[in-house]
Structure formats: structure tokens, C-alpha cells
A and B are shown apart, each in its own frame.
Chain A
Amino acid sequence: DVKVTQSSRYLVKRTGEKVFLECVQDMDHENMFWYRQDPGLGLRLIYFSYDVKMKEKGDIPEGYSVSREKKERFSLILESASTNQTSMYLCASSSRGDRGPYEQYFGPGTRLTVT
């Protein structure tokens, strides 16, 4: 069964802290993605990776960085958390289809609150 796991379901951090969100997939997918979801704004792409050590900026990369050292693991890093980064963070993975990323499988999400 397809599985994408995220390190935490709920996380509370203080302003200025460095925050790591981890995502692991067991499907040998090439592509991995980080989104944030806010009411009324849909899922906005932060970063994605199409191969180990490769990364591409999405629509809202400011204040975030990523790391992909192994194929199955994709980390999202908030260098200095701010209150406007309070959100639901969703990780996804997909195989590489003929027409770009195919079906994405999502993890359960991490609800991050920055106080």
C-alpha cells in the first residue's frame, strides 16, 4: 500500500526557531513536493524535487529551504520561523509521468503553529 509519512501531526514552535519537517515515502517515487494549505488559498507549492539533491522553487519559497539527500526522504526547513508560517504543511510524492508529475500521494499533514 502506498505510503507517505510525515514526522509530526502537530507542532508548536516559537518565533525565530529553526524548524524541520520530515517526509518519507516508500514508493520509490522520483518526485517529492511540499505544500502549505491555508483557508481560501488552496494548496500552494513551496518546493519540489525531481531527483536526489535536486530542488525547484514553487510559488512561495520565501522563508523556506529543502533538503533531499536520499530518494525516499524530503525535508522542509524553516530557518527562522515566523507567525505567518503557521499553517498546514502537506508533503506529496509522485512517479514521473509522460506529461509531468503524475498522481500525487499525500502525507497526513503537519499542523504547525508558530507563537
Chain B
Amino acid sequence: QKEVEQNSGPLSVPEGAIASLNCTYSDRGSQSFFWYRQYSGKSPELIMFIYSNGDKEDGRFTAQLNKASQYVSLLIRDSQPSDSATYLCRGDYKLSFGAGTTVTVRA
């Protein structure tokens, strides 16, 4: 079993909708989780991190962490075509990433 699993997608949402991305993890050593965005042909860049149970909001992005259930999610509200990318998550203990979820926002 991979340490980090993501809903594989691809995910297609209309402009203005909410995109919901999930990541489950098996290693209990991770305390913090990071969401990266990777545009096609580019390198990943950090968009959010979370280390406490509950929600963390930053603009149109909300990260949610549930340590008991071992999942972390990312919500993108009011999705824009510029949000079309692959989203990757990882923990801070095992440093490999999930396979990523490719999001396409339809105008």
C-alpha cells in the first residue's frame, strides 16, 4: 500500500464550482501535510500546508485534516480555469507524494 493515496481523477468541474480533492495516508508519523500545485510542464509549487485537525482557509483554498481518519482534503471554491493543474499531497514524515489529481476547470 502506498503511504499516500489520492483520488486519482481526473476531475472536471465547471467554472465557479467547488473542486474537492482527497488524500489518504497510511503512515502515522506525519503530523503536517502539504498540498502542491503543478501546472503542465512546470515544477510543483506549495499552495497550502496544515498541521492541526480541522480546517485552514487561504483565499479560495481550504485544507481539511482529520488525523483520526487519516485523510486530508483540499477544496477549491469558485474554481477558475487558472486552477487547472495537477494537485499533489505529501506528509512531513515520508516525503514522497501521492500520484496527484488532475483538475480541469471548464469555462
Majority-rule SS of B interface residues? loop
23 contacts between A and B (CB under 8 A): A41-B99, A42-B98, A43-B97, A44-B96, A44-B97, A45-B95, A90-B43, A90-B44, A97-B92, A99-B31, A99-B51, A99-B92, A100-B31, A100-B93, A101-B92, A103-B34, A103-B49, A104-B36, A104-B44, A104-B46, A106-B44, A106-B45, A109-B43
Pick the residue among A33, A99, A108 that contacts B95 (CB under 8 A). Answer: A33
Interface contact A42-B31, CB-CB below 8 Å: no
Count class of interface residues, chain B:
20 to 34
> Which residue of chain B lies nearest to A33 when distances are taken between CB atoms in the complex?
B95
In residues 1-58 of chain B, which contact A (Cβ within 8 Å)?
Answer: 4, 6, 31-32, 34, 36, 43-46, 49, 51
Q: How many residues of A contact B (CB 8 A)?
A: 22
A56 to chain B, nearest CB (A): 9
Interface residues of A in 88-111 (CB under 8 A from B): 90, 97, 99-101, 103-104, 106-109
B63 on interface, CB distance cutoff 8 Å:
no
- B85 CB-CB contact with A under 8 Å: no
Q: Is A59 an interface residue (CB 8 A)?
A: yes
Q: Is the CB of A40 within 8 A of B99?
A: yes
- Cross-chain contact B92 with A42 (CB below 8 angstroms): no
For the complex formed, measure the closest distance between the CB of A82 and the CB atoms of chain B, giving whole angstroms.
21
Q: Provide the bound-state CA to CA distance between A41 and B79, in Å.
A: 26
A39 to B34, CA, bound (A): 20
Residue of A nearest to B49 (CB): A103
Q: Give the complex CA separation of A40 and B100 in angstroms.
A: 8
